[in-house]
Amino acid sequence: MKDIYLTAKTDAGLSPEEIKSALLRSLEGRDLKKVLILPPDFTRFHSNAGYFTNVYYHALTERGAQVDIMPALGTHVPMTREQWQTMFGDVPFDTMLIHDWENGVTDIGEIPGKHLAAITDGLWTEPVHLQVNRRVTDESYDLIISPGQVVPHEVIGMSNHAKNLFVGVGGSEIINKSHMIGAVYGMERMMGRDHTPVRALFDYGMEHFLCERPILFALTVTTAPGGVTRTHGLFLGEGRECLTAAVKLSQEKNIDFVEHGIKKCVVYLDPAEFRSTWLGNKAVYRTRMAMADGGELLILAPGVETFGEQPVQDAIIRKYGYRGRLHTLEAFRKPENADLRENMGAAAHLIHGSSDGRFTITYAVKNISRQEIESVGYRSADYGETAAKYDPAKLQYGYNTVDGEEIYFIPNPALGLWIDRERFERGNE
């Protein structure tokens, strides 16, 4: 198939009709009897992949094909019926397959430690075993469709493409080690960039172990001003080139430069999307390159009710806390902390969710006690009082003045990356 690229001519984005036409073109000339779709889960609601999945499902079933849909959960909890209907519309809920990252995967190969040492400047030398859900290697599928959003990402630099396979429907080792490799290498060396060590890891896996599988990537670049998704670009292809094209547009649409470091940043987490600090800490790592030294990050999180998405993650966060990169790496190396080494993804998350002491992080929540929030290394504030002062319904995206104080407001941290232009131009410090 020849790649299909579509970019919007205005800031309003592509119309549903334009998107549907391109998606149907990607199916032309294919004799398909059984198809697997791997959309993101509800945490990527604004990717518009729900609409993609709906279009593909109806087009394929009308042709008589069997269509299985497996959300790329990674280690997230499965989607609820309500989330499914909100995201995928009238696609039947019983078509959903649940990815089991511990027991539902198969080994497909190994990336040598020597190669990993070369791409990480010697910071990681252990080999990585690649695992994917068994259905990805099931030859009864004539086509695997992987829709999703390209956006700045803390682990890989820019999200999606092969990440949707190796993490979204991957196994514990590749999920854990890829996150730890990214954390060791350094978020600020990668976020917003295409070519990073973790991306190179996944590119190697695609080239060496999945190159024979019939995988069609359907990549979007979106923004969501006021909570309304706008699709600025659609990139359909079976190789690496569609990702390269999508990255260029995402760097234009999803990276916001501020002219100087932000002294006080207020971030709102939609309760329908963010129910844990595991997800909510996008507020931390998507803003950390914009925060001024000594600044304050205030996170309004009415729906956050736990730390981890899984019990083991929650326990690790409660035990070790968000106490900085060096503290976490020190704990990681201690022989007695086997739980941290066995859950490298959680160890990486602890690094991602810390400011390394450069600025303060305050969580205002309804459903976790102040004592619990402070026990993991954050400051705590009363949600009612804080939201009354910094009302997310009244604040405008960007700079606002509240009681004579300048603040920077972000209504959804998942859709962008914020960078202090002065610091960026001086180089990472």
pLDDT at 124 over 50: yes
* CB burial string 330-344: b at 16+ within 10 A, e below: ebbeeeebeebeebb
The pLDDT confidence band at residue 426, using thresholds 50, 70 and 90, is low
CATH classification of the domain holding 364 = 3.90.226.30
Same domain, 97 and 205: yes
pLDDT in tens, 91-103: 999 999 999 998 9
Same domain, 214 and 308: no
Same domain, 311 and 410: yes
Same domain, 236 and 283: no
Q: Kindly state the average pLDDT of the residues 386-415.
A: 95
Same domain, 249 and 268: no
Q: Kindly state the average pLDDT of the residues 321-337.
A: 93
Q: Please tell me the distance from the alpha carbon of residue 314 to that of residue 90, in angstroms, as a whole number.
A: 34
The pLDDT confidence band at residue 122, using thresholds 50, 70 and 90, is very high
Q: Where is the domain boundary, 202, 232, 253?
A: 253
pLDDT in tens, 258-310: 988 999 999 999 998 899 999 999 999 999 999 999 999 999 999 999 999 98
pLDDT in the model for residue 427: 54
| The pTM of the whole model exceeds 0.85 | no
Q: What is the overall mean pLDDT for the chain?
A: 94
Q: Kindly state the average pLDDT of the residues 170-178.
A: 92
Same domain, 266 and 226: no
More confident residue, 360 or 44: 360
Same domain, 69 and 208: yes
pLDDT at 428 over 60: no
pLDDT at 181 over 70: yes
Same domain, 286 and 337: yes
Full residue range of the structural domain in which residue 308 is found:
256-426
Same domain, 105 and 194: yes
CATH classification of the domain holding 161 = 3.40.50.11440
Q: Percentage of the chain with pLDDT > 90? A: 85
Q: Where is the domain boundary, 253, 270, 303?
A: 253
pLDDT in the model for residue 208: 97
Choose the weakest-confidence range: 111-125, 221-235, 413-427: 413-427
Same domain, 343 and 422: yes
pLDDT at 206 over 80: yes
Same domain, 133 and 245: yes
Q: Where is the domain boundary, 253, 271, 293?
A: 253
The pLDDT confidence band at residue 372, using thresholds 50, 70 and 90, is very high
pLDDT at 363 over 90: yes
Same domain, 225 and 272: no
| Structural domains in the chain (count) | 2
pLDDT in the model for residue 429: 45
pLDDT at 340 over 70: yes
pLDDT in the model for residue 80: 94
